[in-house]
Amino acid sequence: MSNIQTGKPALTRFSLRKILRENPTAQGLALISPTAIYLLLFMVLPMILVVLLSFMTRGPYGNVVYRVNVQNYARLADPLYLRILVFSLGVGAATTVFTILIGYPLAYFIARTPARHRSFLLFLILLPFWTNFIIRIYAWIMILRTEGFLNSVLLHMGVINVPLNILYTPTAVLIAMVYEFLPFMVLPLYTSLEKIENAQLEAAADLGARPWRTFLRVTLPLSVPGMIAGSILVFIPAMGMFVVPDLMGGAKTILIGNLIRNQFLVSRDWPFGAAASMLLLILTLVFTLLYTRKAGFGEELLV
C-alpha cells in the first residue's frame, strides 16, 4: 500500500483519488468521460434534435412550431422531391462506377509494382487530395468553363468551332465528383488487391488458366471486399454532396444535399429539411449495414 510506504496517514474519508488509483473501471470512466460528454453534447444531442425537428411544424415566419406533424415525411413523396432523390442516387451511382473504372486499374498497377515503390505511389495519389477540395473544384472550373483551358486548346487545334458548354451541366458535376472521390476508391481496392497471395495466382497459372481468366476467376472475386468498401466510401458522400452542384451544376442540378441546405438556409423550413436529412441518414445507414452484413466491418473501410 502506498500510504504505508510513504508513511502518510491513511485517508479515512471518501477520496476520489483513492478510488481512481485502485479501481480500473473508474480509471477507464475518467479517461473516457471528456470525450463521452463532449460527443453527447455536440454530436448525439444535435442528432436527436434533428429527429424531433422532423416531426414539428413550420410556423408562418419560418420559425418552428412545436406541433407534432408527419406531413414533412409525406411531402418527400412528392414527384418533385422524388426526382431529386432519384437524381442523387443516380449521381452517386455514376460517381461510384467511374471511380471503379479509373481506380481499379490504378490500384492493380500499384499492387503489382515492386513493394518499395508502392507507398510512394499511394502517397502521390493522396497528396493532391490533402489540399482544399474547393480549390480542386476551382481547378476544374478553370478547365471546363466556356472561355476555359479545354475550350481554348480545342478551338486552337481546330477540333471544334464552337466552344463546348460543359460547365453548369450534370456532366461537369460528375467530372468533379469523380476527381474528388477517386482516392477513396483506390485505397481500399489497393488494400484488398495487395493481400492476394502470389501462390493463389501461380496456382491458377499452373492449372493452365490464361492471365485474363486468372484475373476474372481469382483476382476479381478476391478484390470484391475492397470494391464494396470503396463504393460505400464514394457513394454515401457523393449522394449528400452539395458544394460541387452549387459551383458546377447550374440551377438545374439539385441533389438531396442541396435540398437540405436550402430548407435550412433559404426557405427556412427546418422541419421539412430535418425530414429530408432523416431520409438521407436512413439511406446511408441502410447502405452501410448492407455492407457490414456482407463483409463485416472490414479494415478496408478504415484506411
Q: Give the whole-angstrom CA distance, residue 140 versus residue 128.
A: 14
Angle at CA of residue 170, ends 122 and 264, nearest 5°: 95
Q: How far is the CB of 221 from another protein (least distance, A)?
A: 15
In the chain, % helix, strand, coil (3-state, to 5) comes to: 75, 0, 25
Q: How far is the CB of 66 from another protein (least distance, A)?
A: 11
Nearer to another protein, 74 or 134 (CB): 134
Residue 200 neighbours by CB under 8 Å, 6+ apart: 218, 222
- Of 65-73, 79-87, 90-98, 234-242, which segment contacts another protein by CB under 8 A? 234-242
Residue in 10, 12, 14, 35 binding another protein, rule: CB under 8 A: 35
Residue in 28, 70, 86, 252 binding another protein, rule: CB under 8 A: 28
Within 10 Å of residue 107's Cβ, how many Cβ atoms?
27
Q: Contact at 8 Å (CB) between 282 and 85? A: no
Is 62 a residue that touches another protein (CB under 8 A)?
no
Residue in 187, 247, 254, 275 binding another protein, rule: CB under 8 A: 247
Q: Give the whole-angstrom CA distance, residue 153 versus residue 148.
A: 9
Nearer to another protein, 128 or 296 (CB): 128
For the segment 100-139, give every residue that binds another protein (CB under 8 A).
102, 105-106, 108-115, 123-125, 127-128, 130-139
For the segment 146-175, give every residue that binds another protein (CB under 8 A).
147-149, 152
For the segment 283-302, give every residue that binds another protein (CB under 8 A).
284-285, 288, 302
- Residue 201 burial (CB < 10 Å; 0-12/13-18/19+)? middle
Site size toward another protein (CB under 8 A) is 90
Is 217 a residue that touches another protein (CB under 8 A)?
no
Residue in 9, 46, 79, 221 binding another protein, rule: CB under 8 A: 46
| Residue 247: all three cell numbers together | 459551383
